[in-house]
Chains A and B, each alone.
Chain A
Amino acid sequence: MVSARPICLKVNSIFFYFIANYFPSMDYSELQVTTNFSFLRGGSHPEEFVDRAIALGYKEIAVTDRNTLAGIVRAYTAAKGKAIRFIPGCRLDLLDGPSLLAYPTDKEAYAHLSSILTKGNLRAEKGECHLYKEDVYEQSKGLKFIVIPPDHLNEHYEFDPGFVKTLMEYKEAFNQDIYLRASFSYSGDDHKKLYRLSQLAAQLEAPMVATSDVYYHVKERRELQDILTCIREKCTIHHAGFLLHANAERYLKPLEEMHRLFREFPDAIYRNKEIAEACQFSLDQLKYQYPEEITSGGRKPQDELIHLTWEGAKERFGDHIPKNIQSTLQYELDFIQQKNYASYFLTVYDLVRFARERGILCQGRGSAANSVVCYCLGITSVDPSKFKLLFARFMSDARNEPPDIDVDLEHERREDVMQYIYEKYGRDRAGIVATVTRVHWKGAVRDVGKAMGLSLDAVDKLSKSEYE
């Protein structure tokens, strides 16, 4: 539908204004998003991207941080229950080839992706991830790949032959559809570049896919993203030079804008949709798979738990267990059975038992202290006959998640317990939970101040100010 408006004569310019190529269905998903979990590269939080995408009417959005899946949880949580579907993804930066955007289509593919990243992390030192093409080739099943082409054409207005060669290698190695990332960088040669890309796509049967390659959720965030670059490269804004983007276009665009930009390559938009629809994997599908617990006498976990609990109760209270304690125990054990968490308690019991046998100090704490079962198992030490315990603080229907039993261990000897766990379950099945620490705001103010070229005094003053 083309509509023409009257020609308006103005003092300084003559306009001829009409809308061309109006697409009936404005579908588009952003498949390439770098969040701040790509440390010092992305300029917005995953939640900010999700919220902005919802506001713009996006139906799906992916997160593709650099060699990490760290950002997907926040994005998943932000999208949950809202009118947008979240697609976990990752940008694989390789040491020996062009980068790949990877999206798992199912749970198995997600496992493959995680394996690839684990491999890269294990072979490098802390904080780095070294990946090679081979690593990806080995674990590519179920993953959708989008190849990222070079930023510029060479002086013959062609893609570097090395890139074309690797592209063909990728196609061969993945033995499935691969796609070419098409985006507008506003660097002056976009149209020539996209034309070449479309030629390449046709030659190699690697269709173009449209993305915006976003680093921040709104345009205004660009200045901060520049500062992050300076912090990362350890220079001031005055010396960053070409490390900074020339323009501020790396933000989530309105749907009509995406369609308008790709009006000459509608296939790229179509493929964008195609990939989004193929990637139906959601973090919902990840459920905790509990290892089988060894029980004595061939009992089932719940039975074992019941057995150990009553034994423990006798130890604690003697032969005459008070009536109220008994009924509480019964209530708790029923609840545990209903929720099917018996194995979990057994695992914790086992660790505590191991520790006590070795004379390693340990103590359960937190909401677990509200459980009489835990008291009887010797995990916690708050006597229910002396204190009023609120089991609901620990486990209840309202809290629809597994319980959390924190056990403090004697610092010097916690290694022994960790070794025990690794040995019992195997190094492949046990791991330490990593926490992502946030830069404290004082440190952030200092880093930003330094990047802006302010003196330490000024920065000190700023960081001491009351602004939170």
Chain B
Amino acid sequence: MPKRFLSLCFHSLSTDWLVIKKPELKGKAFVLAIPERGRMLVHASSKEALDRGIFPGMVVADARALFPSLEVFDHDPQLEGRLLTALARWCIRYTPVSAVDFPDGIILDISGCAHLWGGETAYLEDICFTLRNKGYSLSAAIADTIGAAWAIARYGQGIRIAAPERQRECLLPLPPASLRLEPNLLQLMKKLGFKNIGQFIDLPPSTLRRRFGEGLLVRLGQALGTEYEFVEPVQPVKSYREELSCMEPIFTLTGIELALKRLLEVLCRRLVKEGKGLRTGVFSGLRVDGEIVHISIGTGSASQRPSHLFKLFELKLSTLAPGMGIELFTLEAPLVEDMEGVQESLWDAVNHDQQAIVELLDNIAGKVGMDAIHRYLPQEYHWPERSIKPVPFLQGQPDKPWPSGISRPLHLLPQPEPISVMVHLPDYPPRHFRYKGKIYKVVKADGPERIEQEWWLQNGPPRDYYRVEDEEGIRYWVFRLGLYGEGEPQWFLHGLFA
């Protein structure tokens, strides 16, 4: 069967993903930033940001100077990899051989697949349309070789599909960059005035080799089809996947549980042997009627423990509809990670405890979502809302101690709530205050603790906090926003002390 490849190229993968995740960002100028040597650099810019001259590689502070309302988000360096892998997996519905093409694309081996869609044009249109609908900006092309498809997808003007064995003519007008050459080689070609492939494709190979190295020849060969190129599909043969076929179709919960346990044992044994742990797991069943049902789980950190993973699946087993019975069970770990640190033999009490807690949290997250779990470390900011930062799970220990010597309330209202006060000006604590219709008489008070905004983050009036106690011994944290003499400051209740 002659080979046909489809190359997908995502123009703005990470920013598109963010807009999909946060639709309110559509049309806004924002960047994703990564830290590098103590500064934040722009990794990717939204179109609106690019329009304003904010390019990847720029320092965030500079970008902000260009456009103060720029929104900045932390970029996860593994994001593109994960996205592409996920997208590649998603593409499996179009072909079983789907591979990630770093840094911004996917290669599909579509040999023999397109006819199911009624031809390559329909196939291409379907894939592009669906992905664009999801929110991704992309371009795609089909050709005999990976190299040619890649080239046409990114640089082809007009053509999208190179007819079989016609990739050569499609390549001629394309620039050298479309051959996936090294930057210094491209510079050299530019210097020598080679603007398109046609200008050098017919030069004798020995000349090309001498002037530009073997690399150029390899790439050219790959694009033309004279050199072999292969891809590593995301669903490797050696996937973490175990199957269990049943003599009789199984439809009882007990039976399903047994099957799951069996599969978990085998899978985990393999994971342990290879030093990996499961991050996502899919347990699926092929039913008698041909339908495939499945449930999936995720873990906060890689796990190799069958009992823990079983518990996570257990929560969802009831949603598995066996129908008339399941003939084939599959357990797959689409996402695995290297297991760090602790080996079984080195466990001590502390790590044992920590392991137990991590599994507990996975378990709870399975039901209520990872978003529900919070842990905080101190942050050296005076402004109360900024004085803590959330960290994931058990990671991170405070590098500076929690501040002592300042009083903070045990309960903080989600938002400060306005109160009306009776007070001596300009900086006395209130004598009375009214909150939700009730009047409270203040008997004791400490303060003010004057906290200015961190001016480099946010501009605004300072807060004068007071700890006040009423006749019944209830201790409140109130503040005045702004100072008297600069307008009419509003008072708020922010929290309660025990």
Answer yes or no: A and B touching, Cβ < 8 Å: yes
Residue A191 interfacial (CB < 8 Å): yes
Residue A458 interfacial (CB < 8 Å): yes
Distance in angstroms between the alpha carbons of A241 and B383 in the assembled complex: 11
Residue B61 interfacial (CB < 8 Å): yes
Q: Are B446 and A192 within 8 A (Cβ)? A: yes
Bits for A221-258, please: 1 = Cβ < 8 Å to B, else 0: 01100100000000011101110001111000000000
Q: Which of A1-42 contact B (CB under 8 A)?
A: 10, 12-18, 20
Looking at the assembled complex, report how far the CB atom of A247 sits from the nearest CB atom of chain B, in whole angstroms. Answer: 4
Known interface pairs A20-B424, A236-B38, A246-B382; A13-B491 also in contact (CB < 8 Å): yes
Residue A454 interfacial (CB < 8 Å): yes
Known interface pairs A12-B490, A454-B62; A152-B449 also in contact (CB < 8 Å): no
Distance in angstroms between the alpha carbons of A248 and B467 in the assembled complex: 21
CB neighbours (8 Å) of A455 from chain B are 39, 58-59, 61-62
CB neighbours (8 Å) of A453 from chain B are 39-40, 59, 61
Q: Are B423 and A15 within 8 A (Cβ)? A: yes
CB neighbours (8 Å) of B418 from chain A are 12
Distance in angstroms between the alpha carbons of A15 and B491 in the assembled complex: 12
Known interface pairs A16-B422, A16-B424, A188-B446; A248-B462 also in contact (CB < 8 Å): yes
Known interface pairs A188-B407, A189-B446; A13-B490 also in contact (CB < 8 Å): yes
Distance in angstroms between the alpha carbons of A236 and B455 in the assembled complex: 13
Q: Are A14 and B421 within 8 A (Cβ)? A: yes
For A, the interface residue count at a CB cutoff of 8 angstroms equals 37
User: Which chain A residue shows the least CB distance to B480?
Assistant: A13
Residue B242 interfacial (CB < 8 Å): no
CB neighbours (8 Å) of A12 from chain B are 418, 420, 488, 490
- Interchain residue pairs with CB less than 8 A apart (8): A17-B424, A152-B405, A223-B455, A241-B379, A241-B381, A246-B449, A452-B61, A455-B62
Residue A385 interfacial (CB < 8 Å): no
Known interface pairs A188-B407, A223-B455, A453-B39; A458-B62 also in contact (CB < 8 Å): yes
Q: With contacts defined as CB atoms under 8 Å apart, how many contacts are there between chain A and chain B in the complex?
A: 92
Residue A187 interfacial (CB < 8 Å): yes
CB neighbours (8 Å) of A137 from chain B are none
Distance in angstroms between the alpha carbons of A13 and B489 in the assembled complex: 9
Distance in angstroms between the alpha carbons of A236 and B457 in the assembled complex: 13
Residue B1 interfacial (CB < 8 Å): no
Distance in angstroms between the alpha carbons of A248 and B464 in the assembled complex: 12
Residue B230 interfacial (CB < 8 Å): no
Residue A186 interfacial (CB < 8 Å): yes
Residue B451 interfacial (CB < 8 Å): yes
Distance in angstroms between the alpha carbons of A289 and B58 in the assembled complex: 62
Q: Which of B17-46 contact A (CB under 8 A)?
A: 38-40
Residue B241 interfacial (CB < 8 Å): no
Distance in angstroms between the alpha carbons of A216 and B400 in the assembled complex: 29
Q: Which of B411-458 contact A (CB under 8 A)?
A: 418, 420-425, 431, 446-452, 455-456
CB neighbours (8 Å) of A397 from chain B are none
Distance in angstroms between the alpha carbons of A191 and B467 in the assembled complex: 12
Residue B406 interfacial (CB < 8 Å): yes
Distance in angstroms between the alpha carbons of A298 and B26 in the assembled complex: 96
User: Which chain A residue shows the least CB distance to B65?
Assistant: A458
Residue B380 interfacial (CB < 8 Å): yes
CB neighbours (8 Å) of A452 from chain B are 61, 456
Residue B476 interfacial (CB < 8 Å): no
Q: Which of A181-200 contact B (CB under 8 A)?
A: 186-189, 191-192
User: Which chain B residue shows the least CB distance to A453?
Assistant: B61
Q: Are A246 and B455 within 8 A (Cβ)? A: no
Q: Which of A131-178 contact B (CB under 8 A)?
A: 152, 154-155
Distance in angstroms between the alpha carbons of A180 and B40 in the assembled complex: 46
Distance in angstroms between the alpha carbons of A236 and B61 in the assembled complex: 12
Bits for A101-124, please: 1 = Cβ < 8 Å to B, else 0: 000000000000000000000000
CB neighbours (8 Å) of A10 from chain B are 488
Residue B465 interfacial (CB < 8 Å): yes
Residue A457 interfacial (CB < 8 Å): yes
Looking at the assembled complex, report how far the CB atom of B409 sits from the nearest CB atom of chain A, in whole angstroms. Answer: 12
Which 6 A-B pairs give the minimum distances between C-beta atoms? Answer: A241-B380, A188-B449, A186-B450, A455-B59, A246-B382, A247-B450
Distance in angstroms between the alpha carbons of A283 and B451 in the assembled complex: 40
Distance in angstroms between the alpha carbons of A186 and B488 in the assembled complex: 21
CB neighbours (8 Å) of B490 from chain A are 12-13
Looking at the assembled complex, report how far the CB atom of B457 sits from the nearest CB atom of chain A, in whole angstroms. Answer: 8
Known interface pairs A238-B456, A241-B380, A454-B61; A188-B406 also in contact (CB < 8 Å): yes
Q: Are A188 and B420 within 8 A (Cβ)? A: no
Residue B398 interfacial (CB < 8 Å): no
Candidates B38, B425, B465; contact of A188 at CB < 8 Å: B465
Distance in angstroms between the alpha carbons of A312 and B316 in the assembled complex: 112
Q: Are B424 and A454 within 8 A (Cβ)? A: no
CB neighbours (8 Å) of B2 from chain A are none
Residue B403 interfacial (CB < 8 Å): yes
Looking at the assembled complex, report how far the CB atom of A70 sits from the nearest CB atom of chain B, in whole angstroms. Answer: 29
Distance in angstroms between the alpha carbons of A248 and B451 in the assembled complex: 9
Looking at the assembled complex, report how far the CB atom of A373 sits from the nearest CB atom of chain B, in whole angstroms. Answer: 61
User: Which chain B residue shows the least CB distance to A18?
Assistant: B424
CB neighbours (8 Å) of B407 from chain A are 188
Q: Are A15 and B382 within 8 A (Cβ)? A: no
Looking at the assembled complex, report how far the CB atom of A9 sits from the nearest CB atom of chain B, in whole angstroms. Answer: 10
Q: Are B488 and A13 within 8 A (Cβ)? A: yes
CB neighbours (8 Å) of B424 from chain A are 16-18, 20
Looking at the assembled complex, report how far the CB atom of B66 sits from the nearest CB atom of chain A, in whole angstroms. Answer: 10
Q: Which of B465-498 contact A (CB under 8 A)?
A: 465, 467, 488, 490-491
User: Which chain B residue shows the least CB distance to A17?
Assistant: B425
CB neighbours (8 Å) of A155 from chain B are 404-405
CB neighbours (8 Å) of A15 from chain B are 422-423, 425
Q: Are A458 and B420 within 8 A (Cβ)? A: no
Given known contacts A453-B61, A454-B65, what 17 new A-B pairs fall within 8 Å (CB)?
A12-B418, A12-B420, A13-B488, A14-B422, A16-B423, A17-B424, A155-B405, A186-B448, A186-B449, A187-B406, A188-B447, A223-B455, A226-B455, A246-B382, A248-B452, A457-B59, A458-B59
Distance in angstroms between the alpha carbons of A154 and B422 in the assembled complex: 32
Looking at the assembled complex, report how far the CB atom of A372 sits from the nearest CB atom of chain B, in whole angstroms. Answer: 62
CB neighbours (8 Å) of B451 from chain A are 246-247
Looking at the assembled complex, report how far the CB atom of B309 sits from the nearest CB atom of chain A, in whole angstroms. Answer: 41
CB neighbours (8 Å) of B381 from chain A are 241
CB neighbours (8 Å) of B382 from chain A are 242, 246
Distance in angstroms between the alpha carbons of A210 and B148 in the assembled complex: 82
Q: Are A237 and B456 within 8 A (Cβ)? A: yes
Candidates A13, A17, A454; contact of B420 at CB < 8 Å: A13
Distance in angstroms between the alpha carbons of A187 and B452 in the assembled complex: 11
Looking at the assembled complex, report how far the CB atom of A430 sits from the nearest CB atom of chain B, in whole angstroms. Answer: 47
